[in-house]
Every structure is written in structure tokens, then in C-alpha cells.
Amino acid sequence: MRGDMEMGKSLHDPSTQGAARAAKRERSFELSLPALVKGLDAAGRKFEEQTSVCGISAQEVSFRLKARLIIDSRVTLFLDIPRTLILESPLRMVLSGAVVYVRFEEGNGKLQFVAVRLDRGFRLHPNSLPPA
């Protein structure tokens, strides 16, 4: 009985909750993957821009753009995934999401660093098209 009470107490202990939260952190990968980004810029005009992904996780993707974006802008990304030892043919992954962070980079050719919170769904297509 005493063991059950201690177990119940430890489940509500903030230190164990923090450990559980830390274990749920997602993995983020820093990589350079060619991408095409489409959406509406800060002025409401359609844009389409070639870039490279800086980092990606299950929930977010980051990249640099010349097009000016604002928080909550919706964008669609087309990522070209190259052929590898495991992947027999190249794929194109289509992701979408909302901009959650924008930082103007002064000395970087008027580029913005952009982070996008990804929607849950994505599509994979055979990539017989030229790279995005």
C-alpha cells in the first residue's frame, strides 16, 4: 500500500514530468536539401522561389528566402529527395505549413531566415521531374 502511495506521488512530481517532456523532444536534422517554396508574400502576391532547407524535423522546417513573409503566412514546400542506397529512385515530398518565425539577415543578400510549423500531412511523388 505504501509503495502505491509513493508511486502515485512520484507521478505528480514536477521533476519526473520534466524528464518525460525531455524524452518527447523531436529530432531535428541540419541538412541542405533543394526546395521550391510557393505561397503569398507579405504584400499578398504569389511567389515561387528556389532555396535550400537549413533544418527539418517532424514539426518544423527552416530555410532562407528573398520573398518577404509574415507570421502565419501559408507556404507549400517541394523537397527533392535524392536517390540513396536505401531509396531506389528519387522522390519529391510536398509539405505545407504556416510561418512561425522570420528573421531578416542584414549581410546575407537581403535574405530572411524563415521557420515553418508543418501541417500533419504530406505527399510523396516519384521525382521524374527536373529538380525543384
Report if residue 74 sits inside a domain: yes
Q: How many C-beta atoms surround the C-beta of residue 72 within 10 A? A: 9
* DSSP character string of 78-103: EEEE---SS-SS-EEEEEEEEEEEEE
Report if residue 49 sits inside a domain: yes
Report if residue 82 sits inside a domain: yes
Cα separation, 93 vs 80, in Å, equals 7
Domain that holds residue 76: 26-126
Using a cut of 0.85, tell me whether the model's pTM lies above it: no
Report if residue 69 sits inside a domain: yes
| Cα first-last separation, the chain | 63
Pair 47, 38: CB distance under 8 Å: yes
Number of structural domains (the chain) is 1
Report if residue 61 sits inside a domain: yes
| Per-residue pLDDT tens digits of the chain, which is 132 residues long | 555 444 444 444 443 344 334 445 556 556 668 899 999 999 999 999 999 998 988 899 999 999 999 999 999 999 887 777 887 888 888 999 999 999 987 776 778 999 999 998 766 667 765 544
Report if residue 86 sits inside a domain: yes
Confidence at residue 22, expressed as pLDDT on a 0 to 100 scale = 43
Report if residue 44 sits inside a domain: yes
Report if residue 19 sits inside a domain: no
Q: What is the DSSP letter of 131?
A: P
DSSP H helices, 24-121, are: none
Q: Alpha carbon of 72 to those of 17, 79, 115, 131: distances in Å?
A: 31, 21, 11, 27
For residue 40, give the CATH number of its domain. 2.40.10.220
